[in-house]
Structure 1
């Protein structure tokens, strides 16, 4: 086979390999995550007595029963905690855990984070912002979480500073909490969900459906005007 044809064949094989990976990798990772979630939730059935477990009265293991059971438990606890009696029981349980030295610090921290992120009255990620990070001249997406409070407010007046969360990519659950001056923050019109998608995709999925540039020259746009 001539060298030219071998080169073309090699280029085609590399192109097909990359195309196949682009199709299979997201699918495999998605299936792996779903399998891990279902397997983990299926273990919640172990808290039931042996006679009550689905395998005992069905005669076979049904994947996903733990998911339905966990969902039913969460909904049941939520319904119980929504009425007066359940609310009093939750308050009693919370007060009890607050009296245990080691558990108190862990439980309080986790509860504050969950209340902020999951509560309907929570204020987490109020708005998408553009900030200079990790140094001046480099811009990244951040999220407004509030204003400085407590003893910090004596040194950083809330009317002048904002509390923001700078996420890492592609995993936005890790990041940095910083307090920046209002004049150094550029508010964005994109929603929080769009900004999160933009961060997770490392800039590949652009809000509004625009395609990113293919190179440095194509991607070059004027930087945000500083106020």
Structure 2
């Protein structure tokens, strides 16, 4: 006999609840794959639509395939991706030329002309800064992920160690030890954040990689790296 104090027996979910759960699970699996395929397909089509009209009609990929296979002109062949290949080869060629003396001279001359044009100068300089920030090759990157007490004692934040502070910043800080520049990203957009300078003794370096720390920030703490090896290491030390 049940009493009012007995725990309630959990109800078995109905068929619609189970179908809803299965649908959501399937959506979680399909959505990333589907969106990725759609995005790649759309970008490839957009690049093809921009590049292929610049190619002479006789050298169009579909025309070459029709000629090679002996197909009738009425047979339409959609060859997607050739424009991307042409774009990549053209970009590599431009980059190779730009690294040489002649290429650098031409770029300096073109930029000097742009600097004399009021409106174009502002647009070009802004786009150039964005391009250099996003695409420029650099040997420098974040060294380590770390923990810092920010914005006050007792509250911890994940940061990325950029480098050791130098010059006027280090001199005017008056710190006797090393001063580290720490980038503290915002969630879920890690491209914005705060640049802070911390004494090295107040920074706890993490064993997780920079990529894993970035995933943790972007996911708002929902995706944690595998800490099995770290736990075993800490246990061994103890």
TM-score (norm 1): 0.66
2:209 to 166, 172, 191: 191
1:119 Cα deviation from its structure 2 partner: 3.9
Q: Deviations over 1:155-197 (max 9, x none)?
A: 657976544333334443x321322323543322333233223
Q: Secondary structure at the match of 2:13?
A: helix
Count of paired positions: 207
Aligned 8 A contact 1:148 1:179 in 2: no
SS in 1 for 2:142: coil
Please name the residue that 1:69 is paired with: 86
The one of 57, 66, 69 aligned to 1:51: 57
Partner of 1:168: 186
Shift of residue 67, structure 1, vs aligned partner? 1.6
**Structure 1 residues 44 and 143, CA, compared in 2 at 3 Å: closer, same or farther?**
farther
Give 1:16-165 correspondences, 5 Å limit.
16-45=22-51, 48=54, 51=57, 54=60, 57-58=63-64, 60-112=77-129, 114-115=131-132, 118-133=135-150, 136-146=153-163, 156=173, 161-165=179-183
What TM-score, normalized to structure 2?
0.64
Corresponding residue number in structure 1 for 2:68:
none
Which deviates more from structure 2 when the two are superposed, residues 98-107 or residues 11-20? 98-107
Task: Tell me if structure 2 keeps the 8 A contact 1:148–1:163.
Answer: yes
- 1:216 is matched with which residue? none
Greater C-alpha radius of gyration? 2
Q: What are the ranges of 5 or more consecutive residues in structure 1 without an aligned counterpart? A: 211-227
Structure 1 Cα separation of the partners of residues 84 and 154 of structure 2 = 47
Question: Taking structure 1 as reference, are residues 192 and 5 closer, same or farther at Cα in structure 2, changes over 3 Å only?
Answer: closer
C-alpha distance after superposition, 1:64-111 (max 9, x if no partner)? 223212211211111112222223223333343344444445544554
* Residues 1:178 and 2:184 are matched in the alignment: no
Q: Distance in 1 between matches of 2:22 and 2:100?
A: 59
Distance 1:50 1:201 in 2: 47
Give 1:154 deviation, angstroms. 7.4
2:15 aligned residue: 9
- Residues 48 and 83 in structure 2, CA contact (< 8 A), matched pair in contact too: yes
Change beyond 3 A, Cα 1:152–1:195:
same
Give the conservation status (yes or no) of the 8 Å contact 1:130–1:141.
yes
Give, in whole Å, the separation in 2 of the partners of 1:189 and 1:117.
27
**How far is 1:124 from its partner?**
3.8
Instruction: Name structure 2 gaps, 5 residues minimum.
Output: 1-9, 65-75, 229-238
Equivalent residue number for residue 218 of structure 1: none
